[in-house]
């Protein structure tokens, strides 16, 4: 283990519900705990990607009470206390503040890398080099660092980072000051971003010294840091869970983007040189399942005849046969089947919403 990573910690955000991957993803087994790609679950793959850079005792997972036990079971190499269960969801600002407080208590010189549990990233060596570059910039600038992905197409499903002035490179990676963060654009705006050449996809991965981000949060969200200070103080004691329960209930639900990133004066962005996909929908999964010459991708027991550009994913349902249909998505589980057109899988959230309205908790 390199000495340069001695004070580096990883915080994996794993509290999402994964509704866009229904019917495979459910409330008690969301996307990050499923084997949508490969033999590992997405959270297992995320942890494996850090191996050799950050040891398990310096990895924290922030998740929900409903899936904490499953998460610990899937990550037995982590100390059980490093899987921290939020009593209720309060979005990413609370998650960041909680995690930074714990890291700072563990190591006053700690630098934390914050990353989602459900992204597809490769190759590992390029990813780790880029993370190390971000750690270098965070230490050098005593500031906040994000990672931007060079856009491959005019995506409307991602937020963007606009690059400003160039800063000193780190470990061969390009570094710029962030001019601004922008929300998910419409198609015309996304095409403009692609043509401009100075916009990057927002990866949702961040790096900062724990004490620095706590200081920035105290400046911009003093009510949040004040509420979670008693929790930070109880880390490592038997009173930690009770303090967490008491503090979380009244917290405002707000993302770290709105609460902090849009308010901090100077943030740096490291241009990523790895392949990245947040695999945010069934449509996005299609390309990663090795479609054949007709664009048919399948997993599980299926029979696909005379189809083009079709995804068939059978988790544990009966044989799925699809014949003479183009541009469709068919997802099958033991007690739920989804059929929708390619390009329309974002509507899965509406399906989940309707099931909630009908109080079909058995399917959620």
The mean-pLDDT minimum among 108-117, 123-132, 204-213, 340-349 falls in: 340-349
> Which among 57, 173, 176 has a CA at the least distance from the CA of 110?
57
Helices (H), the chain: 42-48, 68-74, 91-106, 124-141, 187-196, 210-220, 222-233, 240-248, 256, 282-286, 348-357
Q: What are phi and psi of 223, to 5 degrees?
A: -65, -30
First-residue to last-residue Cα distance in the chain: 42
List, for residues 335-353, the tens digit of each pLDDT value: 999 999 998 877 898 999 9
| 322 within 8 A of 304, measured Cβ to Cβ | yes
Residues belonging to the chain = 364
Ramachandran area for residue 215 (φ above 0: left; ψ -120 to 50: alpha; else beta): alpha
pLDDT digits (tens, 9 = 90+) for 24-57: 999 888 999 999 888 899 999 999 999 999 999 9
* pLDDT digit string, tens, across residues 218-268: 999 999 999 999 999 999 999 999 999 999 999 989 999 888 988 898 999
* Chain centre distance of CA 36: 15
In this prediction, residue 165 carries a pLDDT of 96
Residue 352 near residue 22 (C-beta atoms within 8 A): yes
What is the chain's mean pLDDT, rounded? Answer: 94
What is residue 360's three-state secondary structure? coil
**CA-based nearest residue to 110, from 138, 129, 82:** 138
Pair of tokens at residue 333: 């589980």
Average pLDDT over residues 102-114: 97
């Amino acid at each position: 283990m390199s000495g340069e990573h001695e004070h580096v910690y990883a915080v994996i955000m794993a509290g999402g519900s994964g509704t866009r991957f229904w019917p495979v993803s459910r409330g008690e087994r969301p996307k990050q705990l499923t084997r949508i790609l490969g033999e590992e679950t997405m959270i297992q793959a995320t942890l494996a990607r850090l191996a050799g850079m950050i040891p398990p005792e310096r990895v924290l997972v922030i998740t929900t009470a409903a899936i904490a036990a499953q998460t610990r079971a899937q990550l037995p190499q982590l100390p059980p206390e490093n899987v921290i269960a939020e009593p209720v969801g309060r979005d990413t600002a609370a998650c960041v503040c909680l995690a930074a407080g714990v890291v700072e208590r563990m190591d006053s010189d700690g630098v934390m890398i914050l990353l989602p549990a459900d992204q597809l990233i490769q190759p590992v060596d390029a990813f780790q080099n880029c993370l190390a570059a971000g750690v270098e910039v965070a230490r050098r600038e005593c500031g906040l660092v994000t990672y931007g992905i060079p856009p491959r197409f005019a995506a409307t499903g991602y937020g963007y980072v606009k690059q400003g002035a160039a800063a000193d490179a780190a470990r061969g990676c390009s570094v710029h000051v962030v001019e601004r963060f922008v929300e998910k654009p419409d198609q015309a705006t996304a095409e403009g971003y692609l043509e401009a050449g100075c916009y990057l996809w927002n990866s949702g991965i961040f790096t900062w010294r724990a004490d620095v981000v706590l200081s920035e949060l105290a400046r911009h969200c003093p009510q949040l840091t004040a509420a979670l200070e008693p929790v930070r103080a109880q880390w490592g004691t038997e009173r930690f869970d009770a303090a967490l329960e008491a503090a979380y209930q009244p917290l405002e639900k707000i993302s770290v983007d709105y609460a902090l990133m849009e308010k901090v004066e100077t943030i740096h962005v490291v241009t990523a040189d790895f392949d990245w996909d947040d695999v945010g929908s069934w449509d996005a999964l299609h390309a990663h399942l090795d479609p054949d010459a007709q664009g048919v991708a399948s997993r599980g027991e299926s029979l696909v005849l005379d189809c083009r550009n079709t995804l068939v994913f059978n988790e544990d349902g009966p044989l799925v046969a699809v014949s003479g249909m183009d541009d469709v998505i068919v997802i099958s589980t033991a007690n739920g089947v989804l059929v929708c057109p390619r390009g329309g899988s974002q509507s899965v959230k509406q399906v989940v919403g309707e099931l909630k309205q009908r109080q079909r908790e058995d399917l959620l």
